[in-house]
Amino acid sequence: MEAPFSVRVTEPRWLRGIADWARSSLRAQGIEPLGDPAQVHVRPWSTVFAIETDAGRVWLKAGAPDFAFEAALQRVLAELAPDAVQAPLAVDAGRGWMITLEHGPSMGDTEHPDADEWRELVVGAARAQRRLAGCRGELLATGLPDRSPARVVELFDALRARRRGCRAGHPGRLEPGDDELLEAARPQLAAAADRLEASAVPSTWVHGDLHPFNAYRSSAGVHAFDLGDSSWGNALEVLAVPLGWMRRQAGWPGDGGVLDIDAVIDAYFDVWDVDVERDRLLADAMLTHAVNRSQTWAAWLDDTTDAELAEYGGYGEEHLTSVLDLLGMREAPEP
């Protein structure tokens, strides 16, 4: 049996191979490495290296098999929506390897985002999404997962079956009581997906984990990075993570009454300039996002160590069962 991803990417032979690729790729760009890649972190879904060069620090990222599309996706997004992401210096699409320039602090590193900064983040995402809504073929060709509303119920059923099959004691196991409730929720999920599919807000690129620590500002605007959670889905799903962050932030001491969340959401919808039932569709998108986010967390479950499974293995089940919380079918657990 092959070793888990996080073990493979720490083996000397693998490390020599990616270091050789990095050196040759950088030199092809006229950049000279000043040392070997330093492995910054290893996760079940990716590993990241820092490389010091005569042009400054660069970053090398390698995705696990189900996340390897990120490298090709970032290259294509940089071509189709250059304001949205940084263009990579080098990409090996087959192996999911990518080198990017150091871009400086993220928005989360430098400040506590206020309503104007949140607005800037979601409006930038909406503009990129509008530009990319007609680019389904180009984006799916990178390996980007198709999680459009028409597929959500199919994914929901597959996730439940997989989670039911987890061994006793597995952190992502779906318990029978929750599964029964999810079966009861299925018609409402299907209706939400149908409304999204029929709506004037289309499917397009969805970042999947858009927040201040996954974005940075330059003179050209706000750019996203860390695209491994991306999918092709209804555009409104991109608001799920920002909404969660803003609602938590609004409850922090000193933030009450300062963060106008409705104004941020209105600014996002203004970019689309369509006449829709905003609150209904937004609630629908939160349901489909819960399923699609669970799918992301499930992608690496069979390619991980016991320690990683213990640390991260429950998140997928939590996202899946959050459908019940969104529908008011159970008392929401403590965050």
pLDDT digits (tens, 9 = 90+) for 37-93: 999 999 999 999 999 999 999 999 999 999 999 999 999 999 999 999 999 999 999
Reported as a pLDDT band with limits 50, 70 and 90, residue 333 is low
Q: Region 98-115: what's the mean pLDDT?
A: 88
Opening angle at CA 123, ends 108 and 266, nearest 5:
110
Reported as a pLDDT band with limits 50, 70 and 90, residue 254 is low
Phi-psi region of 30 (alpha: psi -120 to 50; beta: other; left: phi over 0): left
Q: What is the pLDDT of residue 256?
A: 47
pLDDT digits (tens, 9 = 90+) for 278-324: 999 999 999 999 999 999 999 999 899 999 999 999 999 999 999 99
Report the range of poorest mean pLDDT among 83-87, 110-114, 272-276: 110-114
Give the number of other Cβ atoms within 10 Å of residue 70's Cβ.
29
Tokens of 183: 């079966």
242, 209, 238, 221: which is closest to 103 by C-alpha?
221
Q: Which residues contact 38 (CB under 8 A, 6 or more apart)?
A: 49, 50, 51
User: CA 98, CA 100: separation in Å to the nearest integer?
Assistant: 7
User: CA 331, CA 31: separation in Å to the nearest integer?
Assistant: 56
Tokens of 326: 């969104």
Long-range contacts, 8-16 (Cβ 8 Å, 24+) = 9/39, 9/42, 9/47, 9/62, 10/39, 10/42, 15/39
Q: What is the pLDDT of residue 21?
A: 98
Q: Pinpoint the alpha helices (H) of the chain.
A: 5-8, 12-28, 69-80, 107-110, 115-132, 136-140, 149-164, 176-198, 240-250, 261-272, 278-298, 306-312, 315-326
Q: What is the CA radius of gyration of the chain?
A: 20
Tokens of 225: 């990075």
CB 69 within 8 A of CB 141: no
User: CA 71, CA 93: separation in Å to the nearest integer?
Assistant: 6
pLDDT digits (tens, 9 = 90+) for 184-200: 999 999 999 999 999 99
Expressed in percent and rounded to 5, the helix, strand and coil fractions of the chain are 50, 15, 35
pTM of the full structure: 0.94
For the chain, domains (ranges, CATH) are: 5-101 (3.30.200), 107-326 (3.90.1200.10)
Q: What is the pLDDT of residue 332?
A: 57
40, 97, 28: which is closest to 67 by C-alpha?
97
